[in-house]
Structure 1
Amino acid sequence: MLTQQDALSSWSKRAKGIILVVVIAIIAQFLGGLFPLIGGILFAIIIGIILKNTVGIKPTFDAGLSFVIKDLLKLAVIFLGASLNLNAIIKVGQQSLLVVLVSVILGIGLTFWFGKLLKLDRTLTLMIGVGSSICGATAISCVKGVLEAKDDETAYAISTIVFFNLIAFFVYPVVGHLFQLDDLSFGIWTGTAVHDTSSAVAVGFAYSNEAGEIATTVKLARTLFLLPVIIILPFLMSNRKKGSVKQSLKEAFPWFIVWFLVMSILNSIGWIPLNVQELSSNLAKFLIIMVMAAVGMQVNLKGFAKIGIKPFLTGLFASITVSLISLLMICLIK
């Protein structure tokens, strides 16, 4: 059981990282107000990347950065639920379900085929495919036990996903404006195709508030596909260790989605006042800027050189495949 002293010690370890992220988020939000075409989210990740790859980030900041990325992101999603209507969430879910389903199945399947073509290790290929098609580093971490992946394979897979998440920040909004995608289409595309939850939500809000809310809803629906994938993967790998599957399912279940829905239900029945909705929405957006600043400070540009050509090409293929399938499906059902 966690004692009060242990809790205080844990928070003191996180404090430096959290304070640094808050400072960067405030600066990024200010710059985003001055240059709205760039926006606070993009400024946050750029500042984070510059700090990490110039002056460097000491290990004493790591606990705080990890807390921001893993826990504050979930809190941001829950706060967003307080400003959304359940009927709108259900409507977006219905419109995007087929897109998500096809993208996940074809994304994992075609990535597995491409990795086999390159003679890349099957475990590494599956982790890249699952990470690209469902929810990035979170998915990779959850399937690691089921696939009995080695630490270096996991590191390669996560590095590949992080790299293409970074590319998404710069490419997706440009493509969206180039093809004049409306907020609904861009939100569904982002929620379906951008890998990590943090990145999908941030790219959506970088486009518009409505696109961000839609991207959040779609991404959460997409995250749930991790549960059946964890059950199916052992059969593909001829690995049927029940313990590893049970543990992975426990780690993968996204409880924050339940609270997101609870908040949206409370809002839908009129229990959340308008001023609280606005405050909750603004707080969620600031938390997202904080998360992206922390993400930026975990991007080691030199580390990408160690990925290797085969994992890199597989990640590139997976990212392009999921993106194009999603965009094509959106155009077909529109």
Structure 2
Amino acid sequence: MQQSETTTRTLQQPAISKPLFITAAAATLLPVVSPPIALLLGILLAQTTGNPFARVTGKMTHWLLQLSVIGLGFGMNAHSALKAGKEGFLLTIASITCTLLLGWGLARLLKIDKHTGHLISSGTAICGGSAIAAIAPVVKANEKQMSVSLGIIFLLNSAALFLFPVLGHLFELSQTQFGLWSAIAIHDTSSVVGAASKYGDEALQVATMVKLSRALWIIPVALITSLLFRNGGSKIKIPWFIGIFVLAMLANTFLTLGNISHIMTSSAKTGLSLTLFLIGANLTREVLRSIGWKPLLLGILLWAFISASALMAILWLH
């Protein structure tokens, strides 16, 4: 009887969910829908009608985020970005090193398999889903280990998008302070940009530059990982879109682009809202059930550590 009900629901669901999903996705393109609302809308659909395009939205999210980040480069100044990158450099090195070491220790303590533990630690330390996607083939992680790690990162990202702006105002952080903090403590670039854009334009510039310079640490971390896991022949995915982002930023700084800059940045922010909607739509009940409490606890503890330590360091330095 239960199997019959499940089959009936599966057959009936697309008729309702597909037009609803497309309508909701189109709504996120409207200026009145902010990135947090877009994310919340995606999560709501994932928990109710489901994601009828799950096979497609994962790839769409990946490419759409990269294009949105490139578009944001047309709204940035190279001189300001260089200053922001210098300010976040030492914090980046310290936070990545400490988070990876703590993650290794906690994973052993909680008896989590080393591949899952390292993926969660890398995602927390560097840049969320992008780091996991780059490190996974290096450690030869299987599909379950990847889905658990990505599920935890995206779940905590969703919480950060709503929580961080509130905490930023509570601690009376300046635009620069919040930009640094969100870039270091929030896992994924999409949520970093979403939270920082809600806080202010200066925070957005600082956060985007620091986060993207942080993402370049995927390369040395992947090389070290290949030695630790003895997978020297594994390929390392280099985040090529960061180079195009830098070119866009240089063009905006040294060339007269007129309305092109405004059009590109506006389109990028709209693309970001759609990206967050798709991320939320991928957090289905099946994904959440597959996580398990030990990996989730590891993710929360690492996130709490990097958030608290980065905040204290920023308040002390500024």
TM-score exceeds 0.5? yes
Map of 1:278-297 to 2, 5 A cutoff? 278-297=262-281
Give the C-alpha shift of residue 302 in structure 1. Answer: 5.3
1:271 aligns with 2:271: no
- Are the equivalent residues in 1 in contact too, given 2:73–2:248 (CA < 8 A)? yes
Letter in 1 for 2:28: A
Matches within 5 A, 1:134-283: 134-237=126-229, 239=230, 241-244=231-234, 247=235, 249=236, 251=237, 253-273=238-258, 275-283=259-267
The worse-fitting range, judged by mean Cα deviation, of 312-321 and 152-161 is 152-161
CA contact 1:134–1:222 (8 Å) conserved in 2 = yes
2:44 matches 1:50:
yes
Amino acid in the other structure paired with 1:299: L
**Structure 1 pair 20/229, CA: closer, same or farther in 2 (3 Å)?**
farther
Cα RMSD for the two superposed structures:
2.0
Matching residue of 1:37: none
| Cα distance in 1 between the residues matched to 2:274 and 2:139 | 33
Partners of 2:249 and 2:20 in 1: how far apart? 31
Give the drift of 1:235.
2.6
Deviation of the 1:178 alpha carbon: 0.5
Change (3 A) 1:178 1:90: same
- CA distance in structure 2 between the aligned counterparts of 1:17 and 1:272, rounded to whole angstroms: 39
SS of the residue corresponding to residue 75 of structure 2 reads coil
SS in 2 for 1:149: coil
What secondary structure, in the 3-state scheme, does the structure 1 residue paired with 2:233 have? helix
How far does residue 153 in structure 1 lie from its aligned partner after superposition?
1.5
- In the alignment, which of 26, 30, 49 is matched to residue 29 of structure 2? 26
In the other structure, the counterpart of 2:72 is 80
Q: Aligned equivalents of 1:124 and 1:62: distance in 2?
A: 23
Normalised to the residue count of structure 1, the TM-score between the two structures is 0.85
TM-score (norm 2): 0.89
Alpha-carbon offset, residue 109 of structure 1: 0.8
Matches within 5 A, 1:5-154: 20=23, 22-27=25-30, 29-30=31-32, 32=33, 40-59=34-53, 62-63=55-56, 65-154=57-146
Q: CA deviation at 1:325?
A: 2.0
1:144 to 1:67, Cα distance in 2 relative to 1, 3 A: closer
Helix, strand or coil for the counterpart of 1:135?
coil
Write out per-residue CA displacement over residues 142-182 of structure 1, whole angstroms, 9 at most, x where no aligned residue: 11121122221222111111111111122111111110111
Please point out which of 287, 291, 305 is paired with 1:307: 291
In 1, Cα distance between equivalents of 2:195 and 2:55: 24
Contact 1:85 1:264 in 2 (8 A): yes
Task: Using the aligned pairs only, state the percent identity.
Answer: 30
8 Å CA contact 2:147–2:287 kept in 1: the answer is no
Deviation at 1:236, TM superposition (A): 2.4
Work out the CA distance in 1 between the residues paired with 2:59 and 2:142: 24
Q: Structure 1 residues 17, 95: CA separation in 2 closer, same or farther (over 3 Å shift)?
A: farther
**How far has the Cα of 1:85 moved from its partner?**
1.0
Q: Which amino acid aligns with 1:45?
A: L
How many equivalent residue pairs?
A: 301
Q: Give me the whole-angstrom Cα distance separating, in 1, the residues matched to 2:63 and 2:55.
A: 14
| Alignment partners' CA distance in 1, 2:97 and 2:36 | 31
Whether the 8 Å CA contact 2:148–2:287 is kept in 1: the answer is no
| Paired residue type of 1:203 | A
1:324 matched to 2:316: no
